A and B are shown apart, each in its own frame.
Chain A
Amino acid sequence: MASPSLIPAGDFRTSYAVDTTIFPTTTSRNFAILGIVLACFAPQLLSEYWLSQLIMIGIYGIAALGLNILVGFTGQISIGHAAFFLFGAFTSAYISNNYPIPVFFSIPIAGVVTAIVGLVFGLPAARLKGLYLVIATLAAQYILLDFFSRADWFSGGSVPATAKQFSIFDYTLRGDRQYFYVVLAYVVASYLLVTNLMRSRDGRALVAVRDHYLSAEIMGINLTKYRTLSFGLAAFFAGIAGALYAHNQLVVSNEGFGIERSILFLAMVIIGGTGSIMGTLMGTAFVVLVPEAMEWISMELKGGVIDKALALNNNLTFLREIAIGVIIIAFLVFEPDGLAHRWRQIKTYWKLYPFSH
Chain B
Amino acid sequence: MSNREMMRMSRRALLGAAAFTGAGIILKGCANTGNTSSSAESSETAASPTAGGKLIATTLPGSWEQFNRSIVVPQFSSTTGAEAALVPLVSADQVAKLQASPNSPPFDVVSLDSGVFEGAPKEELFQKLPVEKLKHYSELADRFQQPDTWGPLIGVQAVGIAYNPKVVTTPPDSWEALWDEKYKGRVALMSMKNNHTIGFMLKVAEMNGGGVGNLDPAFAAIKQLSPNLAGVVANAGAMITLFQQGEVDIAPHDLNSVKLLQSKGVDIDWVMPKEGGFALTPMMSIVKNPTASVDLIAAYIDAAISPEVQTQMTETNFVLPTNKNVALPESVTQKLGRNLDEIFAKLEFPDWATINQKRTEWVEEFDKTVQA
A binds B: no
